[in-house]
Chains A and B, each alone.
Chain A
C-alpha cells in the first residue's frame, strides 16, 4: 500500500497540532516515524486511522484521494492500528479476540468455533509462531499479545500496520522475534509504520524515516544515510534555552540523601546515587525506564527487593508512606488528577491532609490553625483562589499543583520528590513551579525531579541522571547537559542491542 499525506493541517482550538505535513510511505516498506511527545505523531496516525478528521489536506491511498477517512473506511482499506496499550479482551480466548466483531457463524446465530480456530491456527502458522488459539488472552505474555494483534491485522488482510511503541514491554529476544515477523510481512508486500523512541531499534528494522517536530514535517529519508546523532538532532532541533530567568543556587557540601543499590524487578535495578543539601537532581529517560516506579519506591509507596536509602546518615524505614513522610520526605506524584487531588474537598482541606497525618498529634482539628497554616504557605506558593473554602476543582491545573506543593510545605520536608511536576499545566504556571523549586533549593532542601522535558531539566537542575530500561545509564552535570546527548543516552544508543 502506498500512502501519501498531502498538506495535512490539524487544529485543536488554538493549538496547531499538525502544520502542513506532507510525506510518503512506500509499498512493502517499514517506515519509522520519529518525534518527541507532542510532536504530532499520534494525531497524524489517528487521522490515518479515521479517528480524527484533518482540518485540511488530503490522504492519497493507492492513488485514491481521501479528504476524510472514516474508521470503517480505514479498516476496509486494510489499515490496522496496534496501540501501545493493547486492544485485547483478557477474558476472551485468543480466537475469540481474533474474530471479535467479525465472527464466523453457521446459519445466522450459531458461532462456528471450529472454523475460527482452524483459521487462527492457519494464520499463526503463516507467521511461524505457536500460540494455542483456545487459551485465554490473559494467560499470554506481552509479546504473545502483541503477536495476536498482528495476527488479527494479517487475518483481515491489512496492507498497512501502524505500530505505536510495540517494544516497550518486550525483552531483547522478543524484540528480535517481532522483527523477524515484520520482515516476513514486508516480503508479503505489507507496509508498516513504526513509532518508537528507541534509536537502535529504529535503525535495525526500518527502511525509511520521517521526523516530525512541533507538528511540522522536518525530514524524510533512508536510515542508511544517517547515524543516530543526526537522527537525534533532527528529532530535538536546536532550541535556544533562556537561562536568565532561573538561577540554580550554590550547592552545599553536605550529603542529605544516599540511595544504595535499590532494586525492584522488573522495573529498576542497582540504582545508586546521592543528593546534596540545596541540590536539584533530575531523573529522566523514556517510557519504560522505570523512573516512575523508582519515585514510588523512594517514597515507600512501592516495596523494593533490596538496597537501602540513607537520609542524614540514618537508614530510612521504608515500611510505610507515613514513616517516610515523618523522616522528612515529601512527594508530588505524577498524574495530579488521579494521584493527588481529593476532588470532593475544598482547597484548604486538600492542603492540610498530609499535615494531619504526619505532624498533627491531637485527634481533633482546629479550623483556626488550619487556616493559619494555609495562609502562611499560600503566600509562598502564590495560590490564586478567591477563598480557601472553594472546591479544589474550581482551580486551574497550575494552581491545583501549587496547592499540592503547599500540602508538603506544611510538613517542612527536607527532601522533595517531584514526579512530573509540570504535567498538564500551561507555560506561565510552569515557570512559577520552577521558581518554587528554586525557592526550595535556596532554603537548603534537596529536590529530585522526575521529568522527561529537556528545557525543564536544563533550567532547574544541577545534575541529571539518565535512565534506560531500569538502570542508570549516565549522570551528567549541568555544564555537560545538551539535548542531543541526553536523547542519545535515553535511547540507549551507547549500548549495543544484543
Chain B
C-alpha cells in the first residue's frame, strides 16, 4: 500500500519535473510539431491513402526547392534581417544554369556554375546591407526587381529551354530518380538541413549569427565583425538558392523566366515563421523551418484530400501562419509573466 503511494508520488514528481516542461517547451518553441501531427491526423481521417510512404515522400519532395531557400532565410531572419530577393535569385540562376547546361552538357559544371552565380548575387545583397548599411528590406526589394528583370531580359520574355536529348540522358534522373526508395531531391534536402543545423549550432559562425540578431551592438563590442557576418549570411543564402535553382532545372527541364521562383520568398518566410523563428531576430531553429515548410505543403495536400476547393488554400494557410505565431506569442508572454 505504502509502496504504491510512493511510486504514485514519484510518477507525479517525474511528470511535473520532466514531462510537463518538455511538453511546454514543445508547445512554446516547437509547436510546428503539433501543427504537423494535427495535419497528418486530419489527412488520415480524410483519406486512407494519406499516410502512405509515397504520399509523404511527395510532400517532402515538393517542398525541397523552397525548403532549401527557407533554410537560408532562417539564418537571415535570425540575424535580424530579411531577404525578399531569393525568388528572383532562383530564377536568374536557374535560367543561367540552363544556358550553361546547354553549352557544356555537363552536370557538375552546371552545378558549380549555379552555386557560383547564386553566391555572387547573394554577395551583392550582403555588400549593400553589410558595408553600405542600407536596410535589408530595401536592398532585397530592389534586387528582387532587378534580378527578375535581368532574367526576363535573358529569356526575351519567354522560357529558356533545355537541350532535351542531353536533359533526358543525364540530368532528368536527378529530379525524378530515387535511392533506397527515397527521391534524390529528398536526400539532398535532408543533407542540407543537417549541414545547416550543424552550422547554426556547432560552429562559431552560427553563434555569431544569433549574437548579431539578438544584440548587434553587444556583438560588435565582443569583437565580432558584424559587417562581414552579414555578407557571409547573404552569400550563403545565395549559395543555397543556387543549389535550389540547379535542382529546379533538373526537375522541370525548362525555366520560365517570368514565373520561376515567383513569390518563393513569401512561402520561405512563412515556413520560417511557422517554424518558430522570431521575426525580431536572435531566436530560431533550422529544424523548425524544415517542419514549417512540410506543414505548408501538407496543408495543400490535406485540403485536397478533404476535397476543399483549391481557391481557399491560401486563406487556410494564412490562418494557420497567424495562428502558429499568435500561439508562440501568447505562450511566450505567459512565460515572461510568471
Query: Footprint of B on A, CB under 8 Å?
Result: 299, 301, 320-322, 325, 331, 333, 338-345, 349, 352-354, 356-358, 360, 363-365, 407
Contacts and interface: CB of A to CB of B under 8 A. Distances in A.
Given A322-B225, A357-B223, A365-B203, 19 more contacts: A320-B223, A321-B220, A325-B223, A338-B215, A339-B217, A341-B215, A343-B214, A343-B282, A344-B213, A344-B283, A345-B210, A349-B210, A353-B219, A353-B222, A353-B224, A354-B222, A354-B223, A358-B223, A364-B202
B204 interface: yes
A357 B224 contact: yes
The number of chain B residues touching the other chain, given as a range, is 20 to 34
Interface of B: 202-205, 207-208, 210-211, 213-215, 217-225, 278, 282-283
Contacts of A342: 210-211, 214-215, 218-219, 282
Most buried by B among A299, A301, A356: A356
A322 B223 contact: yes
B207 A365 contact: yes
A357 B228 CA distance: 13
29 contacts: A301-B221, A320-B225, A321-B221, A322-B223, A322-B225, A338-B215, A339-B217, A339-B218, A339-B221, A340-B221, A342-B211, A342-B215, A342-B282, A343-B282, A344-B210, A344-B213, A344-B278, A344-B282, A345-B282, A353-B219, A353-B222, A354-B223, A356-B204, A356-B208, A357-B223, A357-B224, A363-B203, A364-B204, A365-B207
B196 to A, nearest CB: 15
B236 to A, nearest CB: 14
Contact of B207 (A299, A338, A353): A353
A356 B204 CA distance: 6
B191 to A, nearest CB: 18
A349 B207 contact: yes
Contacts of A360: 204
B286 to A, nearest CB: 16
Nearest to A360: B204
Given A345-B210, A365-B203, A340 B218 contact: yes
Contacts of A364: 202-204
Contacts of B224: 322, 353, 357
Nearest to A408: B222
A363 B199 CA distance: 10
B211 A353 contact: yes
B328 to A, nearest CB: 14
A345 B206 CA distance: 12
Nearest to A411: B223
Contacts of B203: 363-365
Contacts of B283: 344
B276 to A, nearest CB: 13
A360 B208 CA distance: 13
A322 B282 CA distance: 22
B282 to A, nearest CB: 4
B41 to A, nearest CB: 33
Contacts of B213: 344
A339 B214 CA distance: 11
A331 B221 contact: yes
B221 A345 contact: no
Contacts of A357: 204, 222-224
A344 B223 contact: no
Given A321-B221, A364-B202, A344 B207 contact: no
A333 to B, nearest CB: 5
A62 to B, nearest CB: 46
Most buried by B among A321, A341, A352: A321
Contact of B205 (A322, A333, A363): A363
A365 B211 CA distance: 15
B225 A341 contact: no
A320 B283 CA distance: 27
Contacts of A363: 203-205
What 6 A-B pairs have minimum CB-CB distances, sorted nearest first?
A344-B282, A344-B214, A357-B223, A322-B223, A354-B222, A356-B204
Contacts of B202: 364-365
B76 to A, nearest CB: 16
A298 to B, nearest CB: 13
Nearest to A321: B223
A343 B221 contact: no
A333 B221 CA distance: 8
A456 B224 CA distance: 31
Contacts of A338: 215, 217-218
Contacts of A331: 221
A424 to B, nearest CB: 16
Nearest to A336: B218
A110 B205 CA distance: 57
Most buried by A among B202, B208, B222, B282: B222
A352 B204 CA distance: 10
A266 to B, nearest CB: 22
Given A342-B215, A345-B214, A365 B204 contact: yes
A345 B211 contact: yes
Contacts of B207: 349, 352-353, 356, 365
Nearest to A362: B204
B270 to A, nearest CB: 22
A364 B207 CA distance: 10
A322 B211 CA distance: 16
Contacts of A365: 202-204, 207
Contacts of B205: 363
A344 B214 CA distance: 6
Nearest to B278: A344
A364 B217 CA distance: 24
A342 B210 CA distance: 9
A329 B283 CA distance: 30
Contacts of B211: 342, 345, 353
Contacts of A341: 215, 218
Contacts of B217: 338-339
A354 B203 CA distance: 14
Contacts of A333: 218, 221
A436 B147 CA distance: 56
Nearest to B282: A344
A330 to B, nearest CB: 10
A194 to B, nearest CB: 34
A354 B221 CA distance: 9
A342 B219 CA distance: 8
Nearest to A363: B203
A376 to B, nearest CB: 19
